[in-house]
Amino acid sequence: MKIVKRFLFIISALLVLMLAGCSGKLSHIDINTTLTVDTTFNGSREMTADIPAAAYKYAFGGSLTALEDMINQYTPGDMYCTATENEDGGVRIQMIIDFASRNEYQKKIETICNGNTTDSAITPVINFDYSHSILKNGYTIEENFTSMDLFYWLADAISKEYPAMEGKNIQDIFQLGKTEVVFNGETMEMQDYIKISTIKSNAFDNVSVAAQLSDDQSVDARITYVVSNKVVAALGTRLKTLMDGLVPDNASMTYQDGDSSRTYTISFESATLQNYITNVNKALHTNNTVFEVSTEGDTESLSAKKSIKQYYDGSYFLDFTAEGTTMSYILDVSPEYTVESCSSTYGYLKDESSTYSSDTCEITMTVASADEVTAVLGFAVDIDEVDITTDIHSDTNIQRTFEFHLSSDAVNLIGSSIEDRLNTAAEQWPDQMTVNTENVLSNTNYSIVLLAESADELTKMTRAVLGESDISDDNKSNSGELTNSLFTGGTEKHKNPWNIHCTYEDTLNLSGFLKGSQIKNGIHYKLSYSKGFKAAFTENNTFEDAAADGPTLTCSTFNKVLSVKSTAEKNNLEGILIFALWIASLICIVVILLLNIEHIINLVSNKKIDISGSELFKGKHLRRLTALIVAIVCFVLMTIRLIFRIY
């Protein structure tokens, strides 16, 4: 009987232990949260998770060292996490996030939430407002996340490092426990999400800040406040006193009454960046305005990016907890800019849009709370001047020089981009291309000299310099693309013996090389034929300053695609000489024949030709005969050259 009782006791004990093990294995762990802040949102967020002894032993092997090692390995850098054993044999995991402002808190929470790669990942939004003014009185604290969103990293780490928890997700391990907020010493319990507001409001309907940024970094500003008629009536003369106190020095304020609201506008012009920040701080009743401008060049192209970071805090005037309340950041820049992106630091950017006109590019950014918004604008770096010189020494000796003149500011933005492109082209013809860089005062001149042995070779070399593709001209025309650069023509052979005639057509397409860059002083083109030629344009053109001076043609244009058709002529000395020799030899033949006609007739009329006895082959007559033979030979040779146009 004792044996049976002992056996039943052992079975019961094993059953209890098994049930305890199952409890450690299946029970959820509560996450308790305390958010403690003051009126400046300086404080901390403390989250604790108490793991029972049975689960600690079953799931974590009861090893505090192993648990601490795991925590040290996976804890995000924006929180402090510890594990300590308690008297019950369990362990407490404690996470603390310290911060000095809402913005710092926002950034840290974002970093932690970024570790959640599941479909349930969220973009954290934190609303905080504390006011004690004629417009608002009270405070608001709102979050769109819970501590479960901040425990994803720990759940993933546990699933990876502990075999007993393999395959478990956060919902299998943790659940929300108690959540409370301590604001300025007052404790309030929450239901899962932190959401509390005690604000009583006479807030404005809308505030917008419009900044017009000039290239010289001066700023014209327009701050607009829209106030409902209800608030206007409620505040009375206090509203006028408030608005008058917002106007910076050298600024003006106007207002206009509408059907349901009043609109105030504060304006000032030509402020430096620092003065602009000071003025906007006063107009928004704050001290944390940010307006920073930075420019970064792209060394791989002739372009650059201008980043404009803006932070305007309209929370003194607006109640962002009220549905639909927004603030607008408006940025006006030159239309040469293109908007590449708009991004926010704290996630309150609701919408952004851009419009273009002939005078301006306007970007409107709408935020649901004070946010730091960065607009990235792309623009092309302008070149001061481009000089293109082509010297035609002969059909087989053509020299072309490209010169690109850049200011020091442009060089600082794009670095050695142009020089690198020219060197890349020169590598294909190392013996026929030379790249030079010259610094003149504050400018830099890049040049490349091309030595071609034919018009076709010059075309290939030009295309290499300008970075054009190898697509044929026919294919490019069919696809609607601009024609490649092309240099054709040469000396027209055998036209007449009196002059030499040359015709060349030169098409240059710099649009691919320059992309969006403009040439401030234009493209200056010069074409020179060899000495003795007189050159002329063969078609009417719209070039500026087009001129012909002897063998040289010059013109200027701001068009990145230019086509120059030209012709040149000079006297053909060789052809004239050949014709003169032909005439001279013909005359010589006729004269000699006439002078010796009697002797020739006598020699021919004799039945028996006696050369030795003929006077034709003696004395001066022999010399005439010799001259006749030379003249005949010359005549025949010159005739052949004239017939076959060998001149």
The model's pLDDT over 370-382, given as tens digits with 9 standing for 90+, comes to 889 999 999 888 8
By DSSP bridging, strand 91-99 and strand 433-440 are unpaired
State whether 560 and 442 are in the same domain: yes
- Rounded Cα distance between 28 and 151, Å, is 13
* Residue 616 pLDDT grade (very low, low, confident, very high; cuts 50, 70, 90): low
Which residues lie closer than 8 Å to 374 by C-beta, 6 or more apart? 307, 308, 309, 310, 342, 343, 344, 345
Paired tokens of 328: 């607008």
- Residue 388, pLDDT above cutoff 70: yes
Query: Is 0.85 surpassed by the pTM of this model?
Result: no
Q: Residue 3 falls within a domain, yes or no?
A: no
Contact predicate 30/132, CB 8 Å = no
User: How many structural domains does the chain have?
Assistant: 4
State whether 211 and 282 are in the same domain: yes
Phi, psi (rounded to 5 degrees) for 252:
-130, 155
Distances in whole angstroms, Cα of residue 623 to Cα of each of 211, 478, 596, 616, 626: 102, 73, 11, 9, 5
* pLDDT score, position 540: 61
* pLDDT score, position 235: 93
State whether 399 and 349 are in the same domain: no
Cα torsion 390, 486, 434, 396 to 10°: value is -70
Paired tokens of 422: 């020219």
Among 380, 398, 413, give the residue marking a domain's end.
Answer: 380
Helix, strand, coil percent values for the chain (each to nearest 5): 30, 40, 30
Which residues lie closer than 8 Å to 14 by C-beta, 6 or more apart? none
Q: Residue 515 falls within a domain, yes or no?
A: yes
* pLDDT score, position 3: 53
- Residue 115, pLDDT above cutoff 80: no
State whether 62 and 194 are in the same domain: yes
**Helix, strand, or coil here: 368?**
coil
Residue 203 is given by DSSP the state -
State whether 408 and 428 are in the same domain: yes
Pick the range with the lowest mean pLDDT from 114-123, 142-151, 419-428. 114-123
* Residue 9 pLDDT grade (very low, low, confident, very high; cuts 50, 70, 90): very low
* pLDDT score, position 498: 67
* pLDDT score, position 289: 95
**Helix, strand, or coil here: 609?**
coil
Among 358, 380, 402, give the residue marking a domain's end.
Answer: 380
State whether 398 and 447 are in the same domain: yes
* Residue 613 pLDDT grade (very low, low, confident, very high; cuts 50, 70, 90): low
List, for residues 238-256, the tens digit of each pLDDT value: 999 999 999 999 999 999 9
* Residue 187 pLDDT grade (very low, low, confident, very high; cuts 50, 70, 90): very high
* Residue 96 pLDDT grade (very low, low, confident, very high; cuts 50, 70, 90): very high
Q: Which amino acid is at 439?
A: N
* pLDDT score, position 320: 87
- Residue 401, pLDDT above cutoff 80: yes
| Average pLDDT for the chain | 86
Paired tokens of 318: 């607006």
- Rounded Cα distance between 43 and 98, Å, is 6
Q: Residue 350 falls within a domain, yes or no?
A: yes
State whether 135 and 216 are in the same domain: no
R_g (Cα) of the chain, nearest Å: 46
Tell me which of 498 and 259 has the higher pLDDT. Answer: 259
Q: Residue 8 falls within a domain, yes or no?
A: no
**Helix, strand, or coil here: 111?**
helix
By DSSP bridging, strand 552-557 and strand 523-529 are antiparallel
State whether 231 and 369 are in the same domain: yes
* pLDDT score, position 7: 41
- Residue 476, pLDDT above cutoff 50: no
- Residue 604, pLDDT above cutoff 70: no
* pLDDT score, position 181: 96
Which residues lie closer than 8 Å to 209 by C-beta, 6 or more apart? 221, 222, 223, 224, 280, 284, 310, 312, 314, 327, 328, 329, 330
State whether 156 and 263 are in the same domain: no
* pLDDT score, position 444: 92
* Residue 282 pLDDT grade (very low, low, confident, very high; cuts 50, 70, 90): very high
- Rounded Cα distance between 83 and 101, Å, is 27
- Rounded Cα distance between 488 and 452, Å, is 13
H helical segments located in 75-169: 102-113, 152-161
Paired tokens of 593: 């024949």
Q: Which domain holds residue 430?
A: 385-470+484-571
Distances in whole angstroms, Cα of residue 185 to Cα of each of 85, 181, 243, 535: 29, 9, 34, 93
- Residue 25, pLDDT above cutoff 70: no
Contact predicate 596/616, CB 8 Å = yes
Single out the residue of 86, 599, 128 nearest to residue 369, CA to CA. Answer: 128
* Residue 161 pLDDT grade (very low, low, confident, very high; cuts 50, 70, 90): confident
Among 364, 380, 396, give the residue marking a domain's end.
Answer: 380
Give the HSE-up count for residue 391: Cα atoms under 13 Å, Cβ half-sphere.
10
| Average of per-residue pLDDT across 296-318 | 88
* pLDDT score, position 516: 78
- Rounded Cα distance between 623 and 592, Å, is 10
| Average of per-residue pLDDT across 524-539 | 90
* Residue 481 pLDDT grade (very low, low, confident, very high; cuts 50, 70, 90): very low
State whether 291 and 314 are in the same domain: yes
Q: Residue 6 falls within a domain, yes or no?
A: no
Paired tokens of 565: 């058709």
* pLDDT score, position 345: 86
Q: Residue 166 falls within a domain, yes or no?
A: yes
- Residue 488, pLDDT above cutoff 80: yes
Long-range contacts at 67-76 (CB < 8 A, ≥ 24 apart): 67/91, 70/157, 70/158, 70/161, 71/154, 71/157, 73/157, 74/153, 74/154, 74/156, 74/157, 75/153, 76/111, 76/112, 76/115, 76/153
State whether 580 and 555 are in the same domain: no
List, for residues 548-603, the tens digit of each pLDDT value: 999 999 999 999 999 999 998 887 767 768 778 888 888 888 888 887 777 667 66
Contact predicate 239/219, CB 8 Å = no
pLDDT > 70: what percent of the chain? 88
Q: Is the dihedral of CA 405, 407, 410, 415 positive or negative?
A: positive
| Average of per-residue pLDDT across 163-174 | 86
State whether 363 and 217 are in the same domain: yes
Which residues, listed in sequence order, are joined to residue 452 by a DSSP beta bridge?
398
